């Protein structure tokens, strides 16, 4: 094997060009793998995070509905404690209590989904 200093210029240029070509090839392979597979992994992780945020938001919305419904029930009950309830108030109270039961069921289902 010749020493580098003794190698003719044409061969040096060929060796350097070959090394550069190999480096460019490996850079392209790494870029292809990155685009093809790594972005898929990142995208899947992002989708999971979005799903968790969506579940928390849904739970927050339902719990706010439960709180608002309960406050309306208490308001009507307080009003009925002070004076006799009208038929309209009784009907509204009945509907609100049914709505509260449905909201509680939704919250229970959401909690069960989170546990799984």
**What pLDDT is recorded for position 39?**
75
H helices present in the chain, as ranges: 9-33, 39-82, 87-115
Residue 40 or 104, more confident? 104
pLDDT of residue 115: 67
Distance of alpha carbon 82 from the chain centroid: 48
Q: What is the pLDDT of residue 116?
A: 62
- The answer to whether residue 67 is domain-embedded is yes
The Cα 107–Cα 88 span in angstroms is 28
pLDDT of res. 101 = 95
**Count: domains in the chain:** 1
Q: What is the pLDDT of residues 34-73, one digit of tens each?
A: 777 777 878 888 999 999 899 889 999 999 999 999 999 9
Tokens 């870029």 -> residue: 31
Q: Which residue range forms the structural domain that includes residue 49?
A: 7-115
- The answer to the question of residue 2 being in a domain is no
pTM beyond 0.95: no
């Amino acid at each position: 094997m010749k020493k580098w200093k003794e190698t003719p210029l044409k061969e040096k240029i060929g060796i350097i060009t070959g090394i550069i070509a190999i480096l460019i090839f490996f850079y392209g392979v790494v870029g292809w793998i990155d685009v093809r597979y790594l972005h898929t992994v990142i995208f899947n992780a992002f989708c999971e995070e979005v799903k968790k945020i969506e579940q928390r938001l849904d739970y927050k919305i339902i719990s706010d509905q439960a709180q608002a419904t309960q406050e309306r029930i208490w308001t009507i009950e307080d009003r009925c404690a002070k004076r006799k309830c009208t038929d309209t108030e009784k009907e509204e109270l009945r509907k609100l209590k049914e709505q509260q039961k449905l909201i509680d069921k939704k919250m229970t289902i959401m909690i069960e989904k989170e546990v799984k």
